[in-house]
Amino acid sequence: MTQRIGAAKGMQVLLINVAPREPDVFGQQLKRKVISEPVPKELLDRKQLLERLAGILRGKGIQCETMLIRGDPAHTILREARRWGADLLVMGSHGHGMLYRKVMGSVSDGVLRARQYPVLIVPDSSGSDKS
């Protein structure tokens, strides 16, 4: 484990959380909306999670930034990956079942289908994957 962390010290990590879109004109969000201070109350839990995870990485000596942004999750993740020049995307899986994924879609599926970046999917640690 120590060797892996040591090798990771030269990398930069962007932790991103994509919140639901906020309509601008005609019910569409027309521009990129990065959430900054003050964070709306309904998004505070997302911001706190990002900062907690960033603190863990920084404590290991890994350079880390956070971004809370509004938009379509898969599209926004891919756009920000391009903006930041990402080499690898690491995404969490909520462990929704097959029916949910068929009806609602999956963010990780959308990112994988784009085939623009290597993607590592980390399963929900609660063991609740219903596939």
Domains of the chain in sequence order: 1-71 (no CATH), 73-131 (3.40.50.620)
| DSSP string across 26-93 | TTB--S-EE--SSPPGGGHHHHHHHHHHHHHHHHTT-EEEEEEEES-HHHHHHHHHHHHT-S-EEEE-
Give backbone dihedrals phi and psi of 83, rounded to 5 degrees, phi first: -60, -35
Q: Which residue has the higher pLDDT, 104 or 6?
A: 6
C-alpha–C-alpha distance, residues 10 and 32, integer Å: 29
Structure tokens at 127: 């063991």
Share of residues in the chain with pLDDT > 90 (%)? 17
Q: Is the pLDDT of residue 25 over 80?
A: no
pLDDT at position 100 is 46
pLDDT at position 66 is 92
Task: State mean pLDDT over 49-70.
Answer: 91
**17-53 residues labelled b (16+ CB within 10 A) or e (exposed):** bbbeeeeeeeeebeeebebeeeeeeeeeebbeebeee
